[in-house]
């Protein structure tokens, strides 16, 4: 790979200033599991690489306070998947983090990197969307909060300004009982990029939130407020109709090597119904546990 | 060298201070600068695990880590598993259980297994297969590798 | 006496180096003054090279040499194990995606990479053929200039070779049932975890070459010819390869690296990236049309097989693969009439080469799957149909050739027993069973030298390549057994043509038999020297002394070899040396140039479950039984068979090259070319062996290690058919392909009846 200037700022202000100065000539380095590959194959040729792992505001801690769980940007998948708070409140996010690559990858890949890389197939994206996560971004003008659904634009592109950094991800602890499941399609059981990645939550009021990725330029969030999907007794045809509406926006790539468009669209429906069923079962189990 | 950065890290218990090119990976530096060729180069995209080393107690694909990121860390490679020129129980188990064929993936498998056992001293077969899923073996030694790791966990090493 | 080494599973000789990380593969070897090299390739399948401007590359600090076709001898030297058609570097035209046009050598890898980036190639992309149909089209561009095959009537086509094998009269044969189907086998690559690595250095008036090569002496011969050097001045170092599987058998970029080293006057090292290995070696893809004639009693009447193998742009060993692989395509059965017509078809793709199974897996997939269909159509049990037709030991199942050399039905019955063939199947599951056969080596020559040192320790010199299959260990076991030395007192020296005697090659599962017999012979020579010593020392007639398995038996007592050796050598010490030679001469009239020394026979049975929603196949149980004569090291045998089974699951379930419309490979590298991980194993994998001591190798052994790969696909395909009612005829059986087939089943209900 070609060389670059390596900066390792120790304050957020320093990092933001570097981004502000260098703009698109700079790339942010967190876990490196996407960036180093691009540096090597030449698809990224930054003049400056900014290593953000020593910045306290971005450090890999997970805190719960006042009904919000804050996940530091450089939290790695291994820790996200193992964290008690995440497992308790956002089980599907822990599930998704646990299948990103191999142990070696998960020990380095960060949740912020996953969303900033903005691959449509990012596995943490569907759960983050379903759980209503909010991205905390810091830039020269200060800090702002971006709802997850407003964060993704298309493959490799987010609504972050060129001199903004993701500092943390905040997820509101669900009010009321809700359970979710994450499922994905891969070409083998071993670690793989997903050809479809999907997360679905149902809550006691019958609200279903479903997000899917790798079937279009960005992950998509859809909801069903009718209560039909969340109802275990509702007939399959009724659910199928809702899935049709939900997946109408899916536009799988015709050129993908991982899976063809027809298969992906079909798997959306298969995975969607499996994820809904799993979420419903988990919700039912959680009621029994308390009863 | 010009445009290098000075870093300090500990490899297999020994401290090193050296100047590294910023665009060189930890894998490059271990093999080429320190002459520790036990860690292998294969896919260079973090898929095969042949380059697996431990950094601060966790396994990583060293091909995806810039050497400069390893500044201030403690690194363990396959060369650091044996002590006083005696093979570790895990290395011995690999030999005893036939977990080695061509040997090229072996250093990475050993590091992943070492990390697994350090975190979980009683893994089951599923834990082992998942813990080592990031280490490809084209010779197909997977069952023997799992057998070796489980034998160490169960204290069966001769 | 102590227990035998034969049939024991001592730890791998060479294992310590592998677990300690101290073993030196080619890429680990540092020699002073070495230049690092990088290949320059074009991002297209085929191109006319208009010009190459190396000036910018030469200006990169640290770049010492940029070589193109213009810098090599004119006319361009060519090489190849079968046909000398491969240029040392592309000249005038690149013929496949990855065909190098230049090599850059520099002081550092960074400089070489930068230099390679700056080589300016002006080229015109040309239409490429990369399918059988495209290559055979009369309007297709010729992959190879006809002048390279002046004596061949096929030179004006893209057909390199045609192979016909047959007996009986297929057209006149009357069968109650004829099943005809077409099958395809994908292009797959070896993906050894060690990428190919090559290094060359001027060595006095000769040259030293390091390579991850499986055939060091063959490489030596090719290098000597290309460089105009005597063999004695070409030294090939062949460290144990990190996996070969056939992809490291034949010369690839060693000549290019050698020319670069000689031009630079310094050592030059080239280590391929994984992507470059996908562009260097692969298996031949194949399209097979099978017509199987059966009678209602399940007996095979005829097999009519047409196999079109898509090979690459250069011959390498591909035509041999086609000829040898298709030869036993009718299977290990007694078939009255057979017609096999196999072709090797050139294409603008990576040159295909040897790969475990050597052309057999492709036809096996088709022929065994077709037999499965035939059994179903007859309403006959698919195990029974195989047993009914299987050749018995001694049957000339390929007329005038090596007869069936094993009790093959034992392997079939054992596999059936292990899979529980007779047991009821849980719902949603299916079972498949298939047999595979491969011809062993048809010619061979392995020399070895064994030295018995004065303290009873032993050095074995053997030119076999130990790429993980455990040749070192087995040869050490033989020497330990014959000479009564403990295993850790045996050193096995391989991989240096200057000091190790000639070995033709490491391939075709031959080494236990050929090199093993050679080592055995060398040990026997030492034993006879010991006998003479004992006779002299004890005043006994040689005829009254036997030496076997480390024990000297005199009329009145037994002695260990060391107790004769020490007094026998006397005060001056010294050593005894024995030489062995294992030779299998060519038979020029034989279609394969020789009858196989043995057959590898395997039966694989699989129980599988299909997730009909997603198309995922779960191999619940996978059983593989090989007929090995004698397992000299049972653990190593099991490892080879399990490894072969897992590798077979790769091409069965997930492996394939993906091309774009112009013939460029899209899925280079590990992210989009999937091979089995530890999570992709069958839920249960059992291997077993049949050992009747009926092989031609030491102690009744046969060669093994390819058998368990041969019929994996057919067994899995049959299990999928059994579970879902759908027969899929193209590999790999990816979830998407299975799903699509299930959708089509839903549409045409007539095909969808499941077997009871």
Which helix (H) or strand (E) segment holds residue C212: the answer is none
Same domain, C296 and C420: yes
3-class SS of residue C472: helix
Give the tens place of pLDDT for each residue, B44-69.
Answer: 999 999 999 999 999 999 999 999 99
Q: Rounded CA gap, A179 and A281, in Å? A: 9
Partner C contacted by A98 (CB < 8 A)? no
How distant is the alpha carbon of residue C519 from its chain centre? Answer: 23
Tokens of C307: 């196999």
Given 3.40.630.30, 1.10.3720.10, 3.10.50.40, 1.10.150.120, which CATH number is that of B89-153?
A: 1.10.150.120
The sign one gets for the Cα dihedral B22, B26, B32, B33 is positive
Question: For B71-99, what is the mean pLDDT?
Answer: 95
Of residues B77, B82, B129, nearest to C679 (C-beta):
B129
Asked if residue C180 is part of any domain, the answer here is no
Would you call C193 and B141 a contact, using CB atoms and an 8 Å cutoff?
no
Given 3.10.20.30, 3.90.580.10, 3.40.50.720, 2.160.10.10, which CATH number is that of B4-78?
A: 3.10.20.30
Query: Is the link from the previous residue into C75 a cis peptide, with omega within 30 of 0?
Result: yes
Of residues A3, A191, A270, nearest to C614 (C-beta):
A270
Same domain, C350 and C453: no
* Of the residues C227, C261, C278, the one at which a domain ends: C278
Max distance between CA atoms of chain A, in angstroms, equals 61
pLDDT band at C1 (very low <50, low <70, confident <90, very high): very low
Would you call B63 and A36 a contact, using CB atoms and an 8 Å cutoff?
yes
Closest by Cα among B27, B50, B45 to A39: B45
What is the set of domains in chain A, with CATH numbers?
A: 5-51 (3.30.43.10), 56-171 (3.30.465.10), 183-284 (3.30.390.50)
Would you call C614 and A185 a contact, using CB atoms and an 8 Å cutoff?
yes
Using the structure block, give the residue that is written with the tokens 């005043």.
C539
Asked if residue C152 is part of any domain, the answer here is no
Give the tens place of pLDDT for each residue, C595-641.
Answer: 999 999 999 999 999 999 999 999 999 999 999 999 999 999 999 99
Residue C751 has pLDDT above 80, yes or no: no
**What pLDDT, on the 0 to 100 scale, is given for residue B1?**
46
Partner A contacted by B39 (CB < 8 A)? no
Same domain, C434 and C393: yes
Give the tens place of pLDDT for each residue, B16-36.
Answer: 999 999 999 999 999 999 999
Percent with pLDDT over 70 in chain C: 99
Q: Nearest 5°: CA angle at C649, between C645 and C655?
A: 135
Whole-complex ipTM: 0.97
- Which candidate in A53, A102, A105, A193 is best for mutational testing of the B interface (most B CBs within 10 A)? A102
How distant is the alpha carbon of residue A15 from its chain centre? Answer: 24
**What pLDDT, on the 0 to 100 scale, is given for residue C549?**
85
Asked if residue C742 is part of any domain, the answer here is yes
| Phi, psi dihedrals of residue C438, rounded to the nearest 5° | -145, 140
Residue B2 has pLDDT above 60, yes or no: no
Domain extent, residue C53, equals 31-126+194-242+247-278
Same domain, C436 and C494: no
Cβ-based contacts of A274 with chain C (< 8 Å): 613
What's the structural domain count of chain C? 3
Asked if residue C17 is part of any domain, the answer here is no
CB atoms within 10 A of CB C570: 11
Predicted structure pTM score: 0.97
Would you call C193 and B132 a contact, using CB atoms and an 8 Å cutoff?
no
pLDDT band at C749 (very low <50, low <70, confident <90, very high): low
CATH of the domain at C483: 3.30.365.10
CB C195 within 8 A of CB C271: yes
Give the tens place of pLDDT for each residue, C668-701.
Answer: 999 999 999 999 999 999 999 999 999 999 999 9
Would you give the DSSP letter of residue C665? B
Same domain, C434 and C498: no
* Of the residues C549, C584, C619, the one at which a domain ends: C584
Closest by Cα among C459, C446, C415, C369 to C652: C369
* Of the residues C262, C278, C294, the one at which a domain ends: C278
Closest by Cα among C186, C176, C248 to C211: C248
Of residues A2, A258, A263, nearest to C739 (C-beta):
A263
CB C729 within 8 A of CB C180: no
DSSP per residue over A172-235, as a string?
EPPSS-EEEEEEEE-SSSSS---SEEEEEEEETT--EEEEEESSSSS-EEEEE-SSTTT-TTS-
Q: pLDDT digit of tens for each residue in chain A (291 aa)?
A: 889 999 999 999 999 999 999 999 999 999 999 999 999 999 999 999 999 999 999 999 999 999 999 999 999 999 999 999 999 999 999 999 999 999 999 999 999 999 999 999 999 999 999 999 999 999 999 999 999 999 999 999 999 999 999 999 999 999 999 999 999 999 999 999 999 999 999 999 999 999 999 999 999 999 999 999 999 999 999 999 999 999 999 999 999 999 999 999 999 999 999 999 999 999 999 988 776
Calculate how close chain A gets to B85, using CA atoms only, in Å.
28
Same domain, C541 and C651: no
**What pLDDT, on the 0 to 100 scale, is given for residue C755?**
42
**What pLDDT, on the 0 to 100 scale, is given for residue C316?**
97
Asked if residue C654 is part of any domain, the answer here is yes
Q: Which residue of A has its CA nearest to C736?
A: A263
**What pLDDT, on the 0 to 100 scale, is given for residue B158?**
38
Same domain, C258 and C308: no
Tokens of B6: 């000075």
Same domain, C215 and C267: yes
Asked if residue C7 is part of any domain, the answer here is no
Of residues C193, C271, C636, nearest to B105 (C-beta):
C193
**What pLDDT, on the 0 to 100 scale, is given for residue C591?**
87
**What pLDDT, on the 0 to 100 scale, is given for residue C447?**
97
CB C35 within 8 A of CB C107: yes
CB atoms within 10 A of CB C47: 23
Same domain, C322 and C466: no
**What pLDDT, on the 0 to 100 scale, is given for residue A291?**
60
Q: Return mean pLDDT, chain C.
A: 96
Give the tens place of pLDDT for each residue, C371-409.
Answer: 999 999 999 999 999 999 999 999 999 998 999 999 999
Residues 61-120 of A with CB under 8 A from B: 78, 101-105, 107-108
Same domain, C396 and C524: no
CB atoms within 10 A of CB B128: 24
Asked if residue C1 is part of any domain, the answer here is no
Would you call C671 and B47 a contact, using CB atoms and an 8 Å cutoff?
yes
Cβ-based contacts of B49 with chain A (< 8 Å): 102, 104
| Phi, psi dihedrals of residue B64, rounded to the nearest 5° | -105, 10
Q: Rounded CA gap, C343 and C323, in Å? A: 8
Asked if residue C370 is part of any domain, the answer here is yes
Binding partners of C (≥3 Cβ pairs within 8 A)? A, B
Would you call A103 and B45 a contact, using CB atoms and an 8 Å cutoff?
no
For chain B, give every residue range classified as CATH 1.10.150.120: 89-153
Q: Rounded CA gap, C543 and C66, in Å? A: 68
**What pLDDT, on the 0 to 100 scale, is given for residue C438?**
97
Same domain, C395 and C462: no
Q: Which residue of C has its CA nearest to A260?
A: C736
Same domain, C672 and C559: no
């Amino acid at each position: 790979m070609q060389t670059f200037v390596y900066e390792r700022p120790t304050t957020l202000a320093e990092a933001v200033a570097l981004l502000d100065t260098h703009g698109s000539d700079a790339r942010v380095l967190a876990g490196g599991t996407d960036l180093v590959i691009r540096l090597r194959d030449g698809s990224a040729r930054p003049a400056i690489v900014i290593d953000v792992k020593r910045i306290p505001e971005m450090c890999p801690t997970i805190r719960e306070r006042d009904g919000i769980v804050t996940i530091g940007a450089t939290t790695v998948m291994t820790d996200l998947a193992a964290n008690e708070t995440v497992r308790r409140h956002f089980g599907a996010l822990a599930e998704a983090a646990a299948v990103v690559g191999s142990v070696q990858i998960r020990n380095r890949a960060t949740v912020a990197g996953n969303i900033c890389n903005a691959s449509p197939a990012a596995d943490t994206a569907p759960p983050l969307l379903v759980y209503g996560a909010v991205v905390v971004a810091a830039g020269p003008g200060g800090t702002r909060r971006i709802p997850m659904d407003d964060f993704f634009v298309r493959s490799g592109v987010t609504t972050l300004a060129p001199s903004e950094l993701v500092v943390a991800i905040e997820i509101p602890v669900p009010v009321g009982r809700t359970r979710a499941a994450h499922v994905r399609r891969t070409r083998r059981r071993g670690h793989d990029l997903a050809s479809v990645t999907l997360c679905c939550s149902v809550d006691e009021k019958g609200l279903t939130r479903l997000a899917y990725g790798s079937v279009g330029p960005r992950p998509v969030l859809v909801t069903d407020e009718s209560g039909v999907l969340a109802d275990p007794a509702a007939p399959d045809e009724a659910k199928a109709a809702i899935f049709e509406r939900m997946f109408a926006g899916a536009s799988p790539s015709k050129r993908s090597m991982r899976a063809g468009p027809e298969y992906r669209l079909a798997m959306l429906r298969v995975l969607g119904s499996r994820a809904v069923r799993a979420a419903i079962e988990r919700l039912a189990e959680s009621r029994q546990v308390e009863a | 060298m010009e445009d290098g950065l000075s870093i300090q890290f500990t490899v297999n218990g020994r401290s090193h201070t050296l100047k590294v090119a910023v665009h060189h990976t930890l894998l490059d530096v271990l093999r080429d600068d320190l002459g520790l060729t036990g860690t292998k180069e294969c896919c260079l995209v973090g898929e095969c695990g042949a380059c697996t080393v431990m950094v601060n107690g966790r396994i990583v694909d060293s091909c995806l880590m810039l050497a400069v990121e390893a500044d201030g860390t403690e690194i363990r490679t396959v060369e650091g598993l044996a002590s006083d020129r005696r093979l570790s129980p895990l290395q011995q188990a690999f030999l005893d259980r036939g977990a080695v064929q061509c040997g090229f993936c072996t250093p990475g498998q050993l590091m992943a297994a070492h990390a697994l056992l350090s975190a979980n001293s009683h893994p089951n077969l599923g834990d082992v297969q998942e813990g080592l899923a990031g280490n490809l073996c084209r010779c197909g030694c997977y069952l023997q590798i799992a057998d070796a790791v489980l034998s160490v966990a169960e204290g069966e090493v001769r | 006496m102590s227990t035998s080494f034969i049939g024991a599973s001592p730890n791998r000789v060479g294992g310590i180096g592998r677990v300690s990380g101290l073993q030196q593969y080619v890429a680990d070897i540092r020699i002073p003054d070495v230049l690092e090299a990088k290949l320059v390739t074009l991002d297209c399948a085929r191109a006319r090279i208009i010009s190459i401007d190396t000036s910018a590359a030469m200006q990169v600090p640290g770049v010492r040499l940029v070589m193109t076709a213009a810098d090599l001898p004119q006319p361009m030297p060519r090489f190849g194990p079968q046909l000398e058609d491969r240029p040392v570097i592309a000249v005038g035209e690149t013929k496949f995606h990855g065909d190098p046009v230049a090599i850059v050598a520099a002081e550092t890898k960074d400089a070489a990479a930068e230099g390679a980036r700056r080589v300016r190639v002006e080229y015109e992309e040309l239409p490429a053929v990369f399918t059988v149909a495209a290559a055979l089209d009369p309007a297709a561009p010729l992959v190879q200039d006809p002048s390279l095959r002046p004596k061949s009537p096929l030179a004006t086509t893209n057909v390199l070779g045609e192979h016909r094998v047959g007996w009986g009269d297929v057209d006149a044969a009357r069968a109650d049932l004829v099943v005809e189907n077409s099958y395809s086998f994908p292009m797959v690559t070896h993906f050894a975890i060690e990428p190919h690595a090559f290094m060359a250095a001027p060595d006095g008036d000769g040259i030293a070459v390091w390579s991850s090569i499986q055939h060091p002496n063959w490489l030596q011969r090719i290098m000597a010819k290309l460089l105009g050097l005597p063999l004695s001045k070409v030294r090939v170092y062949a460290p144990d390869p990190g996996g070969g599987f056939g992809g490291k058998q034949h010369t690839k970029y060693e000549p290019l690296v050698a020319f670069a080293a000689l031009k630079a006057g310094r050592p030059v090292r080239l280590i391929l990236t994984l992507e470059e290995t996908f562009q260097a070696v692969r298996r031949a893809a194949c399209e097979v049309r099978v017509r199987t004639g059966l009678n209602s009693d399940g007996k095979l009447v005829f097999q009519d097989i047409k196999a079109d193998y898509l090979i690459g742009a250069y011959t390498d060993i591909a035509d041999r693969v086609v000829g040898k692989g298709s030869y036993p395509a009718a299977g290990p059965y007694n078939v009255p009439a057979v017609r096999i017509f196999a072709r090797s078809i050139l294409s603008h793709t990576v040159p295909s080469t040897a790969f475990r199974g050597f052309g057999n897996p492709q036809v096996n997939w088709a022929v065994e799957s077709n037999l499965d269909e035939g059994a179903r159509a007859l309403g006959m049990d698919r195990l029974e149909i195989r047993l009914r037709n299987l050749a018995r030991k001694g049957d000339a199942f390929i007329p005038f050739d090596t007869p069936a050399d094993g009790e093959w039905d034992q392997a079939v019955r054992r596999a059936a027993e292990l899979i529980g063939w007779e047991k009821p199947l849980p719902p949603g599951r299916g079972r498949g069973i298939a047999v595979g056969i491969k011809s062993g080596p048809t010619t061979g020559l392995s020399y070895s030298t064994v030295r018995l040192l004065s303290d009873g320790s032993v050095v074995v010199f053997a030119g076999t390549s130990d790429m993980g299959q455990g040749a070192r260990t087995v040869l050490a076991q033989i020497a330990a057994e014959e000479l009564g030395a403990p295993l850790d007192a045996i050193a096995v020296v391989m991989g240096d043509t200057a000091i190790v005697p000639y070995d033709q090659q490491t391939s075709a599962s031959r080494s236990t038999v050929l090199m093993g017999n050679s080592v055995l012979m060398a040990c026997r020579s030492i034993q006879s020297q010991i006998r003479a010593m004992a006779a002299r020392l004890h005043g006994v007639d040689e005829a009254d002394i036997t030496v076997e398995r480390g024990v000297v038996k005199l009329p009145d007592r037994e002695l260990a070899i060391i107790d004769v050796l020490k007094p026998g050598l006397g005060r001056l010490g010294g050593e005894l040396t024995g030489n062995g030679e294992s030779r299998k001469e060519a038979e020029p009239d034989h279609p394969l140039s020789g009858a196989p020394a043995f057959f590898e026979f395997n039966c694989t049975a699989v129980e599988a479950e299909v997730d009909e929603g997603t198309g995922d196949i779960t191999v619940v149980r996978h059983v593989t039984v090989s007929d090995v004569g004698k397992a000299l090291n049972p653990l190593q045998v099991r490892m080879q068979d399990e490894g072969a089974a897992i590798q077979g699951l790769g091409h069965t379930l997930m492996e394939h090259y993906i091309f774009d419309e112009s013939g460029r490979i899209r899925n280079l590298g590990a992210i989009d070319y999937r091979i089995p991980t530890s999570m992709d194993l069958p839920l249960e994998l059992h291997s077993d062996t049949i050992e009747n001591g009926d092989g031609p190798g030491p102690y009744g052994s046969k060669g093994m290690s390819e058998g368990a790969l041969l019929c994996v696909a057919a067994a899995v395909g049959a299990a999928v058919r059994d579970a879902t009612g759908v027969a899929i005829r193209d590999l790999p059986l990816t979830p998407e392909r299975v799903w699509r087939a299930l959708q089509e089943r839903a549409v045409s209900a007539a095909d969808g009846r499941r077997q009871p």
